[in-house]
Structure 1
Amino acid sequence: MEIGVIHSLHIDQPGSMFSAVSEFDMHVCQLSCWDLNLATREAAAKVVKEAQEAKVRICAVWAGVPGPASWNFTEGPITLGLVPEAYRAERVEALKRWADFAEWIGAPAIITHCGFIPENMTDPGYADVVEAIREVAVYCESKKLGFWFETGQETPIVLLRTIERIGTSNLGINLDPANLILYGKGNPIDSLEVIGSYVRNVHVKDGFYPTNGDTLGLEVRAGEGKVDFPNFIAKLKQIGFDGDLIIEREISGQEQKDDIRRTVVDLQTWLQA
């Protein structure tokens, strides 16, 4: 398992676009972007050049989609991912464009949140959501790319059920253990009993369970919340996971940098246990 960091795509900043990765002495990142205007061959060529110069491997493209996104329990179900019908067609096409971009830069997969996939498989909207995800997955498969769900708005069993119904060969999971807790969807260690065989990437993030029915739990530095990282990593080893551990800290500024550095040290300790 190699330690990396999630990194936002910016092509107009001075210096190397991967300096924020290199400053942590890392050589792997998930490249994240919500701006479809950057999903071009020109931007891809610059990414490839600067990643090679910085000796940074891009382990996946985290693909943002157009339209509103409310990270809560009130507007979230009607704004996030491919679930809201009003934005679905546009977002399917956006994810295909990110798949093109991933192919151009040599990344193995795209990752996204698919949204609040219905828990009830008899929900009249469930089949349409599955079909929308399948359309993107098939497009990725045609390019020999993976399509990886980031955990968050759905329970592990819903992810498993949906993967089984889509049925393509390229499906995987970017397991964010904090999101399972922040959304109150499950215990990260137990989730590996359900979806462990599909885990391709892991976000190293932590948090607390929700304390009311409208807002997510509080995200904190890895090791300070409810994710039991020593036992979580031990379980990942047990099931044979050998993918990347991508640190994500959803704040900014010096505190974010300090927390990432502390997490690198902690991860090295947990991995050696």
Structure 2
Amino acid sequence: MHLGIFAKTFAGTEPAAVLTAVRQAGYETTQFNLACAGLPSMPDAVPADAVANIRVGAQTSGVLLAALSGTYNMAHPDKTVRDDGLRRLAVVIETAAALGIPLVTLCTGSRNAADQWAYHPDNATPAAWSDMAAEMAKALALAETAGVDLGIEPEQANIVTSAKDATRLIVDMGSRHLKIVLDPANLFEHASPDEARAIVAAAIDEAAGHIAMAHAKDRHGDGRFATAGQGIVDFPDFTARLKAVGFDGALVTHGLSADEAPGVAAFLRGLL
């Protein structure tokens, strides 16, 4: 596995500086965000010089670009909002292809119109799934043309809440370009350490063969998120199970401060 971190963990809008900070903190790869190049995360366009700056920053820092963020609300109740998100996603996918980034990460969305990461009771309705799936099919057509993969992450507040939901969507879409981003802390809300371990283990078994990236975020038993190693996620068990199913991609941490990054790198590297 390759140890990585969200680029946005580090302040700055110059790719070379941000990626150098990634390397200096002890990471070899990153999930990049166009905000780290002084652009909106989901821009209307990416200038050629911005693409060049990102490429040079990766080369000079020696940091691999494992993924590019392309998140928008794929289940927003307003179709015009979804249409605008898809238009911007096309820009992100084209940028990923230009940079040789193999994966664009998505958000399967929420019926919550104000926050794509917030729960809404209509998320579990067939209509919400249908809207998200229709959006995903359009996104996959773009990805297949560009030759990049799309990564969906099960999240308790989104349409896809579990590894089982994710594999169902992969079957429905019938595309080898749809993959899973697996974050153990997003697979449960309130749990004991034993319950959390069992939930995560079952998710890895379900998602095996479809995991393009793993995330390393933690959670307390009362539902609060935590820095990796500070909550109830059993990271030694998590990484061992990922290895056991043949996963050898990027393990990317997030939800931490820049000051915490070196310590988390040491913790995770000790498990790899």
TM-score range, shorter chain: 0.7 to 0.9
Greater CA drift, 123-132 or 230-239? 123-132
Distance 1:15 1:147 in 2: 25
Distance 2:29 2:133 in 1: 31
The residue number in structure 1 matching 2:235 is 229
The residue number in structure 2 matching 1:100 is 94
Letter in 1 for 2:240: A
The residue number in structure 1 matching 2:201 is 189
Matched, 1:91 2:85: yes
Q: Contact 2:26/2:265 (CA < 8 Å) preserved in 1?
A: no
Matched, 1:198 2:199: no
DSSP-derived class of the 2:150 partner:
strand
Q: TM-score, normalised by structure 2?
A: 0.81
Matched, 1:207 2:219: yes
The residue number in structure 2 matching 1:214 is none
DSSP-derived class of the 1:270 partner:
coil
Distance 1:194 1:15 in 2: 38
Distance 2:16 2:133 in 1: 42
Q: Contact 2:133/2:169 (CA < 8 Å) preserved in 1?
A: yes
Structure 2 unaligned regions, length at least 5? 35-40, 112-122
Distance 1:13 1:155 in 2: 36
The residue number in structure 2 matching 1:18 is 19
2:135 to 127, 132, 135: 132
Bigger RCO (CA 8 Å, 6+ sep): 2
Q: TM-score, normalised by structure 1?
A: 0.80
DSSP-derived class of the 1:39 partner:
coil
Distance 1:82 1:102 in 2: 19
Q: Contact 1:109/1:145 (CA < 8 Å) preserved in 2?
A: yes
DSSP-derived class of the 2:144 partner:
helix
Letter in 1 for 2:77: E
Distance 2:175 2:15 in 1: 41
Letter in 2 for 1:157: K
The residue number in structure 2 matching 1:29 is 30
Letter in 1 for 2:248: D
The residue number in structure 2 matching 1:148 is 151
DSSP-derived class of the 1:226 partner:
coil
Q: Contact 2:15/2:57 (CA < 8 Å) preserved in 1?
A: no
Q: Give 1:179 deviation, angstroms.
A: 1.6
Deviations 1:78-106 (A, max 9, x none): xxx20113121111111111101101111
**Shift in alpha-carbon separation, 1:261–1:97, aligned structure 2, 3 A:** same
Deviations 1:137-188 (A, max 9, x none): 121011110011122131222111111111112111111111223488x722
Distance 1:37 1:10 in 2: 22
The residue number in structure 1 matching 2:4 is 4
Distance 1:182 1:39 in 2: 37
